[in-house]
Amino acid sequence: MSDTGFCPELSGDVREVRDWVHEFARTVVRPAGAEWDEREETPWPVIQEAAKIGLYSLDFFAQQWFEPSGLGLIVAFEELFWGDAGIGLSIVGTGLAAAALSASGTSEQMGTWLPEMFGTPDDVKLGAFCASEPDAGSDVGSIRTRAVYDEASGDWILNGVKTWATNGGIANVHVVVASVDPALGTRGQASFVVPPGTPGLSMGQKFKKHGIRASHTAEVVLDNVRLPGSCLLGGKEKLDARLARVREGGRSGEQAAMRTFETTRPSVAAMAVGIARAAFEYARDYAREREQFGRKIGENQAIAFLLADMATRVDIARLMTWRAAWMARNGRSFDQAEGSMCKLVAGETAVWVTEQAIQILGGAGYTREHPVERFHRDAKIYTIFEGTSEIQRLIIGRAVTGLPVR
């Protein structure tokens, strides 16, 4: 792994990617945002357009994931979510499932299933990552979905109910976290890939949401889902060795769901930065035009200072996100929970900045005539999913105190 040293100046290649994604976000995504928010449906035509230009593709995700500074995917996500977060998540939701597969899968499993998650530009497919359950949200150790090994056939049989799954039930490939040994909590869990058309997997209720409404969120029911041994990510030998170590009292870093969240936190933070920036820019432009009391509202310090704080906080969130992404890419360990720090700051910044944007637009900001109320609804999910703000503080609190904070 080459070490590039952290530098907040983007390379020419990354700038090119940023500008290319920005153009797509400006001309295709932003204009479609309001419509798909109202429709609350997966924006298949927009995903197809993204696939046609190569933005929704395994190639693009893989290339940017491995970009040496770690910032390729990060700047792409900021631009896309600057366009619209609901559509953005519909385009990158597959990336979470792909990250889950890559975190635990063998190269053979990646070679087989990653292309199936994306499909082709003519036949676009999606991936879904299913960890959360009705009684296991923040408390991932309480996952009840069971995976039982059938010695006779070498198959695994999965039973349980997953909830809140982005693309759940409409994805071609689902990655499911299940408990193999419930007594071991998160350490007794493993991830499985559920291939297209597997009997027993079905969609439960689809949720109607506050924001990111173009992104599909649903329950996934697993009723006697029978999977060949090859669907256990990482393989049985590795799982058996790990469980044996844990049972003997040894530590094992392999906590299936947690591994996925660690690698994806900076990219989730980048989405929040994109929403926050969109709201700041919209409010700034409005404040330059709107007049009350015979002057631009932006000429009042009350408004200009608010815009100053908004711009500053967006930059803080972006810099923390870039640092964490660079650290992850260059093999630095998150000793102070820097991944959680960036997700916490970016999520809370997005909520705060989008709320201030509504304030700056006044009554107009409260209506659907302007996108800032949608930005605000969309931003809120970033203090909830991929670990709530409280859970990020728990992780950071433990890291900085070295105490078993609860």
334 sits near ligand FAD (criterion: CB under 6 A): no
- Identify the residue among 64, 145, 191, 217 touching ligand FAD (CB under 6 A): 217
What is the smallest separation between the CB atom of 129 and ligand FAD, expressed in angstroms?
Answer: 5
The structure tokens listed for 304 are 């200009």
The closest of 88, 70, 71 to 79, measured between CA atoms, is 88
Binding residues for ligand FAD restricted to 157-186, rule: CB under 6 A = 164-166
Provide the greatest CA pair distance for the chain.
82
Helices (H), ranges, 186-300 = 236-247, 256-289
Q: Given phi > 0 = left and psi -120 to 50 = alpha, else beta, which region is 164? A: left
Residue 69-108 contact track with ligand FAD, rule CB under 6 A, x = bound: ---------------------------x------------
Between CA 148 and CA 180 the distance in angstroms is: 6
What is the smallest separation between the CB atom of 374 and ligand FAD, expressed in angstroms?
Answer: 15
Catalytic site residue from 49, 108, 386, 390 = 386
Give the DSSP H or E segment for 391: helix 389-401
- Identify the residue among 10, 34, 157, 394 touching ligand FAD (CB under 6 A): 394
109 sits near ligand FAD (criterion: CB under 6 A): no
What is the smallest separation between the CB atom of 395 and ligand FAD, expressed in angstroms?
Answer: 11
For the chain, how many residues are written? 406
Q: In the complex with ligand FAD, which residue's Cβ is closer, 164 or 334?
A: 164
138 sits near ligand FAD (criterion: CB under 6 A): yes
Q: In the complex with ligand FAD, which residue's Cβ is closer, 90 or 356?
A: 90
Binding residues for ligand FAD restricted to 218-277, rule: CB under 6 A = none
The number of residues that bind ligand FAD (CB under 6 A) is: 21
Between CA 37 and CA 48 the distance in angstroms is: 18
Q: Is 41 a catalytic residue?
A: no
Q: Beta strands 217-227 and 201-206: pairing type?
A: antiparallel
What is the smallest separation between the CB atom of 388 and ligand FAD, expressed in angstroms?
Answer: 3
The structure tokens listed for 131 are 């960890």
What is the smallest separation between the CB atom of 134 and ligand FAD, expressed in angstroms?
Answer: 8
User: Which residue is at the shortest CB distance from ligand FAD?
Assistant: 137
The structure tokens listed for 158 are 């999965």
The structure tokens listed for 194 are 């559920």
Between CA 399 and CA 126 the distance in angstroms is: 35
The structure tokens listed for 68 are 């040496």
381 sits near ligand FAD (criterion: CB under 6 A): yes
Q: In the complex with ligand FAD, which residue's Cβ is closer, 11 or 388?
A: 388
| Alpha-carbon dihedral angle through residues 247, 331, 343, 341, given to the nearest 10 degrees | 90
Residues designated catalytic: 386
Q: Which residues bind ligand FAD (CB under 6 A)?
A: 96, 129-132, 137-138, 164-166, 209, 212, 217, 381, 384-386, 388, 390-391, 394
